[in-house]
Amino acid sequence: MSDQLFKVTIDNITIEVPAGTTILNAARQIGGEVAPPAMCYYSKLQGSGGKCRTCLVEVSRGSEKDPRPMPKLVASCRTTVMDGMEVKNITSPKVIDARVGIVEFLLLNHPLDCPICDQAGECHLQDLSYEHGKEGTRYEFQKRVFKKHDLGPYIQLHMTRCILCYRCVFTADQLTDKREHGVLDRGDHSEIATFIEKNLDHDFIGNVIDVCPVGALTDKTFRFKNRVWFTKPVDAHRDCPTCSGQVQLWMRGDEVFRVTARKDEWGEVKDTTDGKPGWICNTCRFEKKHINDWVIEGPSKVNRHSVIAQGHYVGLTIPNETMPKVMHGRGPKLLMDIHSVSEVNAADIELSLLEGPATSKTFNHSEKTNA
Amino acid sequence: MGVKLLLEKAHVEGIRSYEVYRREGGYRSVEKALKTMSTDAIVEEVKKSGLRGRGGAGFPAGMKWSFIAKPEGVPRHLVCNADESEPGTFKDRYLMEFIPHLLIEGLIVSSYALGSHDTYIYIRGEYAWIVDILENAINEAKANGWLGKNILGTGFDCEIHVQRGAGAYICGEETALIESLEGKRGNPRLKPPFPAVKGLWQRPTVVNNVETLASVVPIINLGGEEYAKIGVGKSTGTKLISACGNINKPGVYEIDMTISVEEFIYSDEYCGGIPNGKRLKACIPGGSSVPILPANLLLKTAKGETRYMNYESLSDGGFATGSMMGSGGFIVLDEDQCVVKNTYTLARFYRHESCGQCSPCREGTGWMEKLLLRLEKGQGKISDIDLLWDIQSKIEGNTICPLGDAAAWPVAAAIRHFRDEFEWHVTHAEEAQKRNYGLAHYADAIHVPVTA
């Protein structure tokens, strides 16, 4: 069954994928804009997906055997391909329209406090609303607000920003041996919570920060320290007894501001060299913040379409300096030079020793030597 | 006087007890089914009867049964959905409270047909006293050899367990019900896999409504073909309707789906008309989530034909001019009722009951409620009406489970048919706080263009 290949056409591009592949993963193989956005699906977490509805696509032809189209838009992250299936993503006006609606729904209760949010720059919701949303909202009511919660010494939960993707619930459930947090209440007042205020203390619990698509779960050792686009991502590793130790450091100069797992172009944790998901432990993430703790491998390649990609300096080409060419070899004279000419700020004149007020003559070298 | 199959004996004194029920001919279907029929024959009989699911969707029950996967060595389960929480629907409560053995009897036959040795009744938490009634009935049935090991010497074992819900409307959705039954948070699952393949504890499961399972009893007693003769077209058998609202005689009625809506509302046998000589304004014919209809479209279809109380006739005209049979919660509104307020009340309910799993329903239901409250208070804008329309269209069809649709349909239908009442709430904001819009033109005859 698994070695069987299904032919699927997504936005008029046909590829062959193994049976059991989801539409979303097939589209990701094609890549680019054909891949539907996903806010809740996370390929490394079992059972995730289907909730945010941003990945809805139209199936215009069910399969070779049953060519009827599916009556409703389907969640591409949880629908498996059939042989001969035809899918419309960005070529379907219905999908684009529905996605605009979903983005508006997701932003309805989101505070949009990006200027003070640590996730800004690498936030999936930001990217989603830039790419698929509309300007402005038609919502004229108060947004829901929650109190901030400290989940132990390292993690802060800011439910107001949460879009209830359930990724962190799956992470805690599947990576740690005791289930410490889940969802309380229901509907638009439901919240991620540790019942009631419990610390999350497990070696791998820090990964909930990495899976969070928005700024609801943030690293307390990094909060408000720096904007992510000012820090440079660097691949590094260390010999860690608990995890693979293969991480990404976010540095500025020699300073390590933040340690995260390495991410792929879909914003998901990359596999390590031995093929396992590269979740990292709390020690690596929160406690090893010195450059001597790590062996630097080199700059990370960020190929996600997002603001953090701006911090990219691999393959950087310095633009040609054209000024000397047009000025016949001379360099431009910068206005800053004025200081060294006038010597107004020269420190060798002690004002307190002068008799009477200082005049322009005081600072004029030739006058001074004459006197 | 229509045919009565389910509630025929409901008024016999002491019918709740096993002795009286058995004396009145109870448990005949179990004897007939287990001793003389094969499991496939029972499924075939239910298929022939044309019985449609009584929970709301109206999916053919026999068909649903035939979909159940039968992998070797994996137990199968039958689950009875008694989580009746749709506003306006209370037929299952009546059935379970007054004639509990009928359900137990139907469950034994159905369990035998589906090969379920552990059958569950998932009952809504608010029906606390009915749990005792059902458990008592199960114990009586067990004491008399209808349940337990080797029933009637046929080698078939079956136990029925009653499980109480904890007060969530969403747990009436079959996959949420299964999650809740497994002891988890009642969030609907993504389909596929369908419960018929992977349901309770990942085993093949059939979830049926109380009334559907009770209807298996007359089907076995009469035979599928005889049962199919009752009713019309694809609406076979009898249906329980729970009528409420502005009527003289609210309650549960068993109808054979051949009577007209007008007869149902005005005849003394059923609802007995509208009290205080008021006029009919609107009606929600199948539980709160189905589209509301104004009086003129309720009694006659858009083509000018009489509308009957059955699946086809009630949905005649689609959502543009029709509604649905739904779960049979028949809510009548007289001329003094405000459709805006009614819609707000429903929107508030769906907002409160949304599980919060998928974004359109979680965020959209709250938004609609807030807009409707604003309109109801006379603080709305004309653009709010179009906005509401747009929101409901973005919810409908884009959610995991039908709750999103159920929240969108009442709002859509109210705006579709009662738009001027919504507009009046904006243009006459102060007046709208003091009096209701009234009947207006909603009962006027519709002009039917002559065809051919």
Q: Which of residues 281-300 of B touch A (CB under 8 A)?
A: none
The DSSP 8-state label assigned to residue A89 in this structure reads S
Does one domain contain both A279 and A219?
Answer: no
- Length reported for chain B: 452
Quote the radius of gyration of chain B (alpha carbons, Å): 23
How many Cβ atoms from other residues are within 10 Å of residue B36's Cβ?
Answer: 9
Residue A119, domain member (yes or no): no
Distance from CA of A110 to the nearest CA of B (A): 10
| Tokens, residue B70 | 């039968």
Distance from CA of A168 to the nearest CA of B (A): 14
| Tokens, residue B345 | 């009340």
Q: Which of residues 255-284 of B touch A (CB under 8 A)?
A: none
Domain limit, last residue, from A194, A224, A254: A224
Mean predicted confidence (pLDDT) in B181-188: 93
Q: Does the pLDDT at position B239 exceed 50? A: yes
Q: Kindly tell me the burial class for residue A285, based on how many C-beta atoms sit within 10 Å of its own C-beta (0-12, 13-18, 19 or more).
A: buried
Residue A181, domain member (yes or no): yes
Q: Name the residue with higher pLDDT: A198 or B35.
A: B35
pLDDT, tens digit, for every residue of A77-99?
999 999 999 999 999 999 999 99
Task: Mention every residue, 6+ apart, whose C-beta is less than 8 A from residue B84.
Answer: B90, B91, B92, B93, B124, B127, B172, B210, B327
ipTM of this predicted complex? 0.90
Task: Mention every residue, 6+ apart, whose C-beta is less than 8 A from residue B386.
Answer: none
pLDDT at A334: 66
- B359, A190: Cβ pair inside 8 Å? no
Mean predicted confidence (pLDDT) in B6-23: 92
Chain-centre distance for alpha carbon B5: 18
CA count, 13 A, side-chain hemisphere, A116: 4
Does one domain contain both A218 and A245?
Answer: no
pLDDT, tens digit, for every residue of B291-319?
999 999 999 998 889 999 999 999 998 89
pLDDT at B114: 95
Selected residue of A39, A41, A48, A51 to mutate for chain B interface (largest B Cβ count, 10 A): A51
Beta strand A191-194 with A181-184: parallel, antiparallel or unpaired?
A: antiparallel
- A98, B394: Cβ pair inside 8 Å? yes
Model confidence at B243, in pLDDT bands (50, 70, 90)? Answer: very high
Chain-centre distance for alpha carbon B29: 25
Selected residue of B191, B348, B350, B362 to mutate for chain A interface (largest A Cβ count, 10 A): B362
pLDDT, tens digit, for every residue of B359-417?
999 999 999 999 999 999 999 999 999 999 999 999 999 999 999 999 999 999 999 99
Q: What are phi and psi of A249, to 5 degrees?
A: -100, 140
Per-residue H/E/C for B125-168: CCCHHHHHHHHHHHHHHHHCCCCEEEECCCCEEEEEEEEECCCC
* CATH number given to B235-331: 3.10.20.600
% chain B with pLDDT above 90: 88
Angle at B425 between CA A98 and CA B277, to 5 degrees: 115
Q: Which residue has the tokens 């009469």?
A: B222
Residues in A whose CB is inside 8 Å of some CB of B read 49-54, 56, 72-73, 75, 78, 98, 101-102, 104-106, 108-109, 138-139, 141, 163-164, 166, 182-183, 185-190
- Partners of B400 on chain A (C-beta within 8 Å) are 50-51, 75
- B359, A106: Cβ pair inside 8 Å? yes
- Partners of B360 on chain A (C-beta within 8 Å) are 53, 101-102, 105
Question: What is the domain-level CATH number for residue A215?
Answer: 3.30.70.20
pLDDT, tens digit, for every residue of A20-40?
999 999 999 998 889 999 999
Residue A154, domain member (yes or no): yes
How many Cβ atoms from other residues are within 10 Å of residue A18's Cβ?
Answer: 14
Number of domains chain A contains: 4
- The residue segments making up the domain with residue A143 are 138-224
Does one domain contain both A216 and A238?
Answer: no
- The residues pairing with B186 across neighbouring beta strands, listed in sequence order, are none
Q: Does the pLDDT at position A366 exceed 60? A: no
% chain A with pLDDT above 70: 88
Q: Which of B266, B283, B284 is nearest to B275 (CA)?
A: B266
Q: For residue A45, what are the CA distances in angstroms to A246, A260, B22, B195?
A: 19, 18, 54, 23
Model confidence at A299, in pLDDT bands (50, 70, 90)? Answer: confident
Q: Does the pLDDT at position A342 exceed 70? A: no
For residues B47 and B59, give the distance between their C-alpha atoms in angstroms, rounded to a whole number: 11
pLDDT at A312: 56
- Partners of B364 on chain A (C-beta within 8 Å) are 105
Residue A116, domain member (yes or no): no
| Tokens, residue A223 | 């909060």
Domain limit, last residue, from A224, A241, A266: A224
pLDDT at A265: 85
Distance from CA of A82 to the nearest CA of B (A): 13
pLDDT at B446: 77
CATH of B18-229, one of 3.40.50.11540, 3.30.460.10, 3.40.50.720, 2.70.160.11: 3.40.50.11540
For residues B166 and B211, give the distance between their C-alpha atoms in angstroms, rounded to a whole number: 22
Q: Which residue has the tokens 């149902």?
A: B264
pLDDT at A77: 93
For residues B45 and B64, give the distance between their C-alpha atoms in angstroms, rounded to a whole number: 13
- A187, B357: Cβ pair inside 8 Å? no
- A190, B362: Cβ pair inside 8 Å? yes
pLDDT at A196: 64
- A163, B364: Cβ pair inside 8 Å? no
How many Cβ atoms from other residues are within 10 Å of residue A181's Cβ?
Answer: 21
Model confidence at A313, in pLDDT bands (50, 70, 90)? Answer: low
DSSP SS3 for A355: coil
Model confidence at A371, in pLDDT bands (50, 70, 90)? Answer: very low
Q: Which of B208, B236, B24 is nearest to B120 (CA)?
A: B208
Does one domain contain both A239 and A174?
Answer: no
- The residues pairing with B326 across neighbouring beta strands, listed in sequence order, are none
Selected residue of B363, B388, B396 to mutate for chain A interface (largest A Cβ count, 10 A): B363
Does one domain contain both A219 and A230?
Answer: no
Model confidence at A345, in pLDDT bands (50, 70, 90)? Answer: low
% chain A with pLDDT above 90: 53
Does one domain contain both A232 and A313?
Answer: yes
pLDDT at B149: 93
Residue ranges covered by each domain of chain B? 18-229, 235-331, 339-434
Nearest CA in chain B to A71: B397
Q: A13 near A25, Cβ under 8 Å?
A: no
Select from A50, A182, A187 the Cβ nearest to the Cβ of B355: A187
pLDDT at A302: 78
pLDDT at A370: 47
Q: Which of A262, A158, A162 is nearest to A210 (CA)?
A: A262
Q: Does the pLDDT at position A369 exceed 90? A: no
pLDDT, tens digit, for every residue of A126-135?
999 999 998 8
Residue A212, domain member (yes or no): yes
Does one domain contain both A145 and A181?
Answer: yes
Mean predicted confidence (pLDDT) in B26-42: 94
Q: pTM here? A: 0.88
Nearest CA in chain B to A54: B359
- Partners of B359 on chain A (C-beta within 8 Å) are 51-54, 102, 105-106, 163-164
Does one domain contain both A234 and A272?
Answer: yes
- A187, B387: Cβ pair inside 8 Å? no
Residue A129, domain member (yes or no): no
Mean predicted confidence (pLDDT) in A52-60: 94
Q: Name the residue with higher pLDDT: A198 or A128.
A: A128
For residues B248 and B270, give the distance between their C-alpha atoms in angstroms, rounded to a whole number: 9
Q: Name the residue with higher pLDDT: A81 or A369.
A: A81
pLDDT at A135: 86
pLDDT, tens digit, for every residue of A226-270?
998 888 889 999 999 989 899 999 998 889 999 999 998 888 999
Per-residue H/E/C for B62-107: HHHHHCCCCCCCCCEEEEEEECCCCCCCCHHHHHHHHCHHHHHHHH
- Partners of A38 on chain B (C-beta within 8 Å) are none
pLDDT at A354: 81
Q: Name the residue with higher pLDDT: B60 or A274.
A: B60
pLDDT at A275: 83
Model confidence at A368, in pLDDT bands (50, 70, 90)? Answer: very low
Q: What is the largest CA-CA distance in chain B?
A: 73
* CATH number given to B339-434: 1.20.1440.230
- Partners of B170 on chain A (C-beta within 8 Å) are 186
